[in-house]
């Protein structure tokens, strides 16, 4: 079984319930969530003119290969009502593979670790909560080290 870390976010509808439903759907698809971070409310990233997000991260076990997991995450997003829209724009649910064990993968459709995670406090703060000693396989820093941004960070 692989240990995976998945980022979860929502800024449309009942944001907290959307995140909880995504976790339920993961369980139905062979992704056993073993740790959940707190939900945090954050400013949007990439496109500023949109509602605030609820973000969190989970640690899970799965026998799925990365490409299979990616397809399942995209299907959950679609089933929950996410539609193709503006990149980094509003969404009912957003599910991202942050880590898959210590794998480094760079394909046209999937990059692991997630290429922007070290730039996003809304990812690092939840990750540091559930996996503070997880080492980024490329940057060679723990989530605690990467997530210890300035105290006045708007995502804290």
Sign of CA dihedral 16, 76, 74, 126: positive
Instruction: Please give the positions annotated as active site.
Output: 82, 91, 94, 96
Segments making up each domain of the chain, as ranges: 2-147
Mean pLDDT of the chain: 89
Mean pLDDT of 22-33: 96
The least confident of 28-42, 91-105, 140-154 is: 140-154
State how far the Cα of 97 lies from the Cα of 79, in Å rounded to an integer: 18
- Give the residue carrying structure tokens 């993968």: 105
Task: Give 44's contacts (C-beta < 8 A, 6+ positions apart).
Answer: 11, 50, 51, 52, 53, 88
Q: What is the pLDDT of residues 100-153, one digit of tens each?
A: 999 999 999 999 999 989 988 889 999 999 999 999 999 999 999 997 754 434
Domain 2-147 sits in CATH at: 3.30.70.560
Please state the pTM of the whole predicted model.
0.89
């Amino acid at each position: 079984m692989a240990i995976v870390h998945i980022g979860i976010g929502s800024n449309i509808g009942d944001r907290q319930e959307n995140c909880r439903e995504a976790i339920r759907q993961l369980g139905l698809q062979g992704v056993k969530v073993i740790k959940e971070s707190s939900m945090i409310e954050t400013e949007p990233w990439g496109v500023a003119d949109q509602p605030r997000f609820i973000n969190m991260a989970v640690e899970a076990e799965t026998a799925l290969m990365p490409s299979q997991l990616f397809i399942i995450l995209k299907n959950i997003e679609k089933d929950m009502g996410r539609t193709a829209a503006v990149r980094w724009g509003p969404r009912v649910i957003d599910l991202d593979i942050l880590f898959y064990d210590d794998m480094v993968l760079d394909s046209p459709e999937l990059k692991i670790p997630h290429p922007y995670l070290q730039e996003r406090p809304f990812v690092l703060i939840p990750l540091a909560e559930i996996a503070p000693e997880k080492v980024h396989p490329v940057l060679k820093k723990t989530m605690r080290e990467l997530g210890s941004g300035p105290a006045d960070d708007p995502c804290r």
